[in-house]
């Protein structure tokens, strides 16, 4: 069976997913929808898809699955429409910035017995998967501490920041998902600190650019997350997991695997500095996993529930910063 | 001028300092005191010092400086006695487990215009100093985030734990001092999480064995500290400092700089697994710095105030865990 | 312009090139020829090419270029036929195992004003290219010494060894080409040592499995090449270039960028252990470079002359081992 | 028993050995001899030794062992005098620049049943010892190939070059000794290439500054040695040993274990750039081993025979360069 796709939203991330669909066996891109004609035509010309309206895709018989890459405030509505229309749905995170709206949407998906996969591409990165596999085979014993370092090369435009829901809902949300994935036990409490060190405009927009979070589980496992919006040396993405009998870590990805030695010392190139080049393989593997779910009618590896839990952790972190206290996840979920 | 030393307390750390004094130009070890005759004799035989009583050392004309390596609950009293006796005093951390007692002791030292250096050997480690020098020369721009990873190879005996003041006052205290040294700005708030994952007996003794701490300063700088009492791979001591224009990190020290490649992959030896072998050079440099202060009548690089501040941070961390909230240092100092 | 391709020879390397052609913009795979029907059909089914005879491809109007992946002893004849037929030719190394035959073939290509690119994929590896770029921008000053380490995970079947022309013509030939590329000056003399340490059957077949070579140029630059047919830890491919003001090196590629620490030390996974996975990106870039040459009627980056020179160096190395002496390349070319 | 030492020659290396003797338990420095009064006095003042004449030391009853650090052309004579006088002798390499003179001297030592240790400090380096220990415990299987990279930070003065016996006898000689130590089988043949790339004055003095050597053993084991007199990044000292089931390598020693990341990439400090700082621990361990031999009347780990063999390999390399051929060691020994 070949899964026939439509992409809703032909922006930057839509193009990434179009490329992923083109490269995955068992998937074909049939249609694309975007109010921006030029963006839609670009996908049409590059990947041979038809440009259609969202309504036409909703009613089409030749579409099995949609990838939602539209602005965040349309995600929940589109998810509901398309599961109702019987399409399998892959939606970029987040489902919505409001936890209440997310809950309602997931209830709708459940009632419709729809298939919904939420995009957390880091779980599909080959190196992070190799790390997870070592944990799963017991190589480090029971997990005790997870350390996530996640630093953007530079801050997004302040306009984006304003619509993003803030650093915890936009950036840390990926780390929250990775933490849940690696801890192997649900997070119970959240403590967070946040400040403005990178750009005062971000602060004026009501957001932070530098943050640290401590997550704890009922059994006492702990996770720290370190975020900043500025790393001069590229897109810094590290994981370290400490267990009772060992640790495992995943290294960063440099632009080239070379080293120069000279009178000033030893020098390696900076890191890949864009999430799309850093996670190219992860995006392709993510779509392949979705195709696999649709073909075999199995549960997606990253569900709407995962999307909701990561958002709840973001809300808890924000509350912790505001009130200077440890926040129980049960206050929010 | 040669600084003439006596060592009070001939245990493990006393022997380290005796060796350091023997290796430092401008210092000579004259006497040692310890109620355990064998321990004192060992230093006598190895380094050629006389065994004397503490009282005799207090009144001696041939002693310029003492190194206090006795049990913690005697530190404050001995500091007061020996500054009153006109000796320069080097005291192993902590001055006392009670912040009030520390304050009183420091007041005494100040009134006596005494010289007091408190032992925080990590500031004298050659690699950590190289890291600090890069920060000081502006190599990474203004400091924004400090990440300290500090894991012991294994927990101390539970008996020791009971007398130690707990993980924050015994183990994290070194990280608190390093944080203050590197942040370049006083810490204003503390959040901490702690749990028992390594050994239930530690929990039964009222202490924790796994902890994470977030420190923040008034301007928004942040520091995270990760501690556990068990690291299968050795004594894990890492520092990473992130600044506006770069990061600098200090690596761990392995037992040898070799690597083996075989069918299972690439393998390097574990870390040095004892604080005395890991910090041998640091202990020697620390005593050399003290000798320098005494010879030149300058202020020690790590003072009683530093000892007090690190203890206050430990108390704040404990309070944060107990009350699940962000604790202001001003509540304690 | 789209370059229309046929592949001659549908074996392992033919499939690699078919995949490369499919992934390169401006190239399309039209036909494939192979006496083994199953192999040809596999490429047909995977990439949508027609199966044709070599004769049919030779006379076809819808083919601009051929990729020769047939057995070595057919290369020179096919090159001559297809340049005569006006096709651009990409041929896997070597052109022939006989230097005389190679010279005759190149004369034919020159007379026909044909386009011939010989496959030395390492020059197209992204990391090796990054290394070369640093040399070219003067980052290490004038090149003085090149050190090439090239170890296969395991020996090929002895049957293959017998037809391969031996370790220098089959394996070291890639290092000879890389040496010429990096030295920036033609090699003048060759010294080599070779022995049998891996498999006595290889010795019985008249070949070696372990070899070291020193190349020198007229101005005194030197290159060492270290080869063995067995590396337990994977496909070992390293380059180090030492210049007057610095060195630059390219690291190996591991199966994942993770590291595990446990009581036995620090462990990373072994290397990719197959040339096709190690050089996937290089093969694609190589075909892209060929497409570029054909489209723009420019000289290929790796020519028939390069193929001849690498073979001459292999012959010189063999002569050096046999006669125990330094061999001048001028004895052979 | 305490071994009572005299040092003959108070230059740079004499001072290193004086410091080593002072730090080794079971050894004491009694006397020093040097025609340069200032040099001898410096050792006297630093380490508390008496200044005496060589004749006085030869006849002294309070001296058990001498360390010969005088100019090379005096070594053989002094060895003979002092073994005759019943002293244990430690002599810096080489015994002499003439192989014939070395042979005669060793015959003398043997006849006198003297104790002679020749200084090859690299065998005592902690990292190289860790590497050797892995080989000895079978961790990489039978040794097949040894790769030695040895590059000086900068060339010595041309005046020194003229007296040194040339690059092979002065610099490569250490690598020849390490090769013999690690191959575990005597070298049978030598091929070498050498040129002038660093400094034309070195060439005018009849020497080379850049060299590569291939050593082979009867069973086919191979070793390559890469030398240059200039490495901008410090004193480059690497060993890699490849065996049937794995490889083991020893890394370089940097001035500090820190790394900086910035917009230009990742940066580590250069290497220690002087043999005395790089091999401080090795020199101390070497003297400790000699003290152990003298105390226990055992054979030294590096003997006069080792000195002779390394020199023979140097002579063979020189002959190989001159005649452009593989030289059998049996031609020289």
CA distance D236 to chain A (A): 11
Confidence at residue A23, expressed as pLDDT on a 0 to 100 scale:
82
Chains sharing 3 or more CB pairs under 8 A with chain A = B, C, D
Burial class (CB in 10 A: 0-12, 13-18, 19+), D43: buried
Place of tokens 């990947």: A47
Cβ–Cβ gap A254/D232 under 8 Å: no
CA distance A256 to chain C (A): 5
Confidence at residue D193, expressed as pLDDT on a 0 to 100 scale:
98
CA distance C239 to chain B (A): 18
Q: Is the pLDDT of residue C176 over 80?
A: yes
Nearest CA in chain A to C141: A262
Confidence at residue A194, expressed as pLDDT on a 0 to 100 scale:
98
Residues C146, C243 contacting (CB under 8 angstroms): no
Confidence at residue D25, expressed as pLDDT on a 0 to 100 scale:
83
Cβ–Cβ gap B246/D258 under 8 Å: no
Residues C270, B264 contacting (CB under 8 angstroms): yes
Of the candidates A126, A246, A252, the beta carbon closest to that of C261 is on A246
Count of beta carbons in the 10 Å neighbourhood of residue C204: 10
Cβ–Cβ gap D248/B260 under 8 Å: yes
* Best residue in C250, C260, C284 for a mutation probing chain A (most A CBs within 10 Å): C260
Residue A130 CA to residue C255 CA, distance in Å, equals 9
Please write the tens of the pLDDT for every residue from B276-323: 889 999 999 999 999 999 999 999 999 999 999 999 999 999 999 999
Q: Is the pLDDT of residue B1 over 80?
A: no
Q: What are phi and psi of C279, to 5 degrees?
A: -115, 25
Please write the tens of the pLDDT for every residue from D257-307: 999 999 999 999 999 998 888 999 999 999 999 999 999 999 999 999 999
Cβ–Cβ gap A242/B222 under 8 Å: no
Cβ–Cβ gap B233/C262 under 8 Å: yes
CA distance C264 to chain B (A): 6
Beta bridge partners of D50: D31
pLDDT confidence tier of residue B274, bands split at 50, 70 and 90: confident
Q: Is C16 helix (H, G, I), strand (E, B) or coil?
A: helix
Confidence at residue C48, expressed as pLDDT on a 0 to 100 scale:
86
Q: Which residues of A touch D261 (CB under 8 A)?
A: 231-233, 270
Q: Which residues of C touch B264 (CB under 8 A)?
A: 267, 270
Chains sharing 3 or more CB pairs under 8 A with chain C = A, B, D
Beta bridge partners of A67: A7, A90
pLDDT confidence tier of residue C24, bands split at 50, 70 and 90: confident
Cβ–Cβ gap C220/D197 under 8 Å: yes
Structure tokens at C65: 């270029």
Residue from D50, D12, D13, D20 nearest D33 by CA: D50
Cross-sheet strand order for the sheet of A50-51 = A50-51, A27-33, A3-8, A65-68, A88-92, A116-119
Angle, CA A209 vertex, CA A205 and CA A211 arms, to 5°: 130
Cβ–Cβ gap B261/D251 under 8 Å: no
Residue D221 CA to residue D141 CA, distance in Å, equals 13
Q: Is A239 helix (H, G, I), strand (E, B) or coil?
A: strand
Residue C78 CA to residue C252 CA, distance in Å, equals 35
DSSP string, A109-148: HHHTT--EEEE-GGGG-HHHHHHHHHHHTTTT-SEEEEEE
Residue D311 CA to residue A164 CA, distance in Å, equals 73
DSSP string, D246-291: EEEEE---BSSSEEEEETTEEEE--B--SHHHHTHHHHHHHHHHHH
Of the candidates C198, C224, C325, the beta carbon closest to that of D224 is on C224
Residue from D202, D189, D222, D80 nearest D152 by CA: D202
Cβ–Cβ gap A266/D265 under 8 Å: no
CA distance B27 to chain D (A): 15
Chains sharing 3 or more CB pairs under 8 A with chain B = A, C, D
Residue from D166, D159, D4, D6 nearest D70 by CA: D6
Place of tokens 């130009």: B25
Q: What is the per-residue burial (b if ≥16 Cβ within 10 Å, else e) of C250-272? A: bbbbbbbbbbbbbeebbbbbbbb
Please state the separation of Cα C105 from the chain's center in Å. Answer: 18
Q: Which residues of B touch D262 (CB under 8 A)?
A: 139-140, 245-247
Domains of chain C: 3-114 (3.40.50.720), 123-278+310-331 (3.30.360.10)
Q: Is the pLDDT of residue C22 over 90?
A: no
Confidence at residue D22, expressed as pLDDT on a 0 to 100 scale:
86
Nearest CA in chain A to C238: A258
Residue D1 CA to residue D9 CA, distance in Å, equals 25
Please write the tens of the pLDDT for every residue from D168-209: 999 999 999 999 999 999 999 999 999 999 999 999 999 999
Structure tokens at D266: 């990742």
Q: Which residues of A touch D231 (CB under 8 A)?
A: 261
Residue from C311, C253, C300 nearest C279 by CA: C253
Q: What are phi and psi of A231, to 5 degrees?
A: -135, 110
Q: What is the per-residue burial (b if ≥16 Cβ within 10 Å, else e) of A227-259? A: bbbbbbbbbbbebbbbbeebbbbbbbbbbbbbb
Confidence at residue D251, expressed as pLDDT on a 0 to 100 scale:
94
CA distance B246 to chain A (A): 6
CB within 8 A of C137, min separation 6: which ones? none
Structure tokens at B73: 């609950």
The mean pLDDT value of chain A amounts to 96
Nearest CA in chain A to B245: A232
Residue A154 CA to residue A136 CA, distance in Å, equals 34
Q: What is the per-residue burial (b if ≥16 Cβ within 10 Å, else e) of C292-317? A: bbbbeeeebbbbbebbbbbbbbbbbb
Residue A28 CA to residue A14 CA, distance in Å, equals 15
Nearest CA in chain D to B126: D256
Of the candidates B257, B260, B263, the beta carbon closest to that of D127 is on B257
Confidence at residue D91, expressed as pLDDT on a 0 to 100 scale:
98
Confidence at residue D1, expressed as pLDDT on a 0 to 100 scale:
73
Q: Which residues of A touch D232 (CB under 8 A)?
A: 261-263
Residues A264, A302 contacting (CB under 8 angstroms): no
CA distance B258 to chain A (A): 18
The percent of residues in chain B predicted with pLDDT above 90, rounded, is 94
Q: Tell me the C-alpha to C-alpha distance, in Å, between residue B58 and each of B63, B66, B85, B303, C166.
A: 8, 9, 6, 22, 83
Q: Is A77 helix (H, G, I), strand (E, B) or coil?
A: helix
The mean pLDDT value of chain C amounts to 96
Cβ–Cβ gap C265/B270 under 8 Å: yes
Residue A172 CA to residue A194 CA, distance in Å, equals 12
Please write the tens of the pLDDT for every residue from C238-254: 999 999 999 999 999 99
Stretches in chain A below the pLDDT threshold 70: none
Count of beta carbons in the 10 Å neighbourhood of residue D156: 14
Residues C305, C106 contacting (CB under 8 angstroms): yes
Whole-angstrom Cα Rg for chain D: 20
A250-259, C45-54, D146-155, D202-211: which range is least confident on average?
Answer: C45-54
Confidence at residue D146, expressed as pLDDT on a 0 to 100 scale:
98
Q: What are phi and psi of B69, to 5 degrees?
A: -125, 25
Strand ranges inside B120-257, DSSP E: 143-151, 187-195, 210-217, 222-228, 236-243, 246-250
Residue C30 CA to residue C40 CA, distance in Å, equals 12
**Chain A residues with a Cβ under 8 Å from any Cβ in chain C:** 126-127, 130-131, 134, 139-140, 245-253, 255-263, 269
Residues D114, D271 contacting (CB under 8 angstroms): no
Residue D220 CA to residue C247 CA, distance in Å, equals 31
pLDDT confidence tier of residue C141, bands split at 50, 70 and 90: very high
pLDDT confidence tier of residue C230, bands split at 50, 70 and 90: very high
Confidence at residue A275, expressed as pLDDT on a 0 to 100 scale:
85
Q: Tell me the C-alpha to C-alpha distance, in Å, between residue D47 and each of B140, C148, D250.
A: 43, 48, 34
**Chain A residues with a Cβ under 8 Å from any Cβ in chain B:** 144-145, 147, 149, 151, 189, 191-193, 195-198, 210-212, 214, 216, 219-222, 224, 226, 228, 230-233, 242, 244-247, 324-326
Of the candidates A193, A196, A219, the beta carbon closest to that of B191 is on A193
**DSSP-H helix ranges across A168-269:** 173-183, 200-204
Nearest CA in chain A to C133: A258
CB within 8 A of D234, min separation 6: which ones? D153, D252, D254, D255, D270, D271, D272, D273
């Amino acid at each position: 069976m070949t899964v026939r796709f439509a992409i809703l939203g032909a922006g930057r991330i839509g193009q990434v997913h179009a490329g992923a669909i083109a490269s995955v066996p068992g998937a074909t891109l049939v249609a694309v929808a975007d109010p921006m004609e030029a963006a839609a035509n670009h996908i049409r010309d590059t990947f041979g898809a038809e440009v259609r309206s969202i309504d036409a895709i909703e009613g089409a018989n030749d579409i099995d699955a949609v990838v939602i890459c539209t602005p965040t405030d349309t995600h929940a509505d589109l998810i509901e429409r398309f599961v109702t229309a019987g399409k399998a749905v892959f939606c970029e995170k987040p489902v919505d910035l409001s936890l209440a709206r997310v809950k309602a949407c997931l209830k709708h998906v459940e009632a419709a017995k729809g298939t919904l996969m939420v995009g957390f591409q880091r779980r599909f990165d080959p190196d992070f998967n190799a790390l997870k596999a070592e944990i799963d085979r017991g190589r480090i014993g029971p997990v005790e501490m997870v350390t996530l370092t996640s630093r953007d090369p530079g801050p997004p435009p302040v306009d984006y920041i304003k619509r993003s829901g803030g650093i915890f809902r936009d950036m840390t949300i990926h780390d929250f998902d990775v933490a849940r994935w690696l801890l192997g036990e649900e997070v119970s409490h959240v403590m967070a600190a946040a400040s403005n060190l990178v750009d005062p405009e971000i602060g004026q927009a009501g957001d932070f650019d530098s943050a640290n979070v401590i997550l704890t589980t009922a059994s006492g496992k702990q996770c720290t997350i370190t975020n900043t919006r500025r790393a001069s040396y590229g897109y810094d993405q590290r994981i370290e997991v400490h267990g009772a009998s060992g640790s495992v870590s995943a290294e960063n990805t440099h632009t080239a695997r070379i080293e120069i030695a000279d009178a000033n010392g030893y020098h390696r190139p900076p890191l890949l500095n864009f999430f799309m080049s850093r996670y190219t393989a992860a995006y392709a593997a993510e779509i392949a996993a979705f195709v696999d779910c649709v073909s075999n009618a199995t549960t997606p590896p990253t569900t709407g529930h995962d999307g909701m839990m990561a958002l709840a952790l973001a809300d808890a972190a924000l509350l912790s910063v505001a009130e200077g206290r440890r926040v129980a996840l049960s206050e929010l979920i």
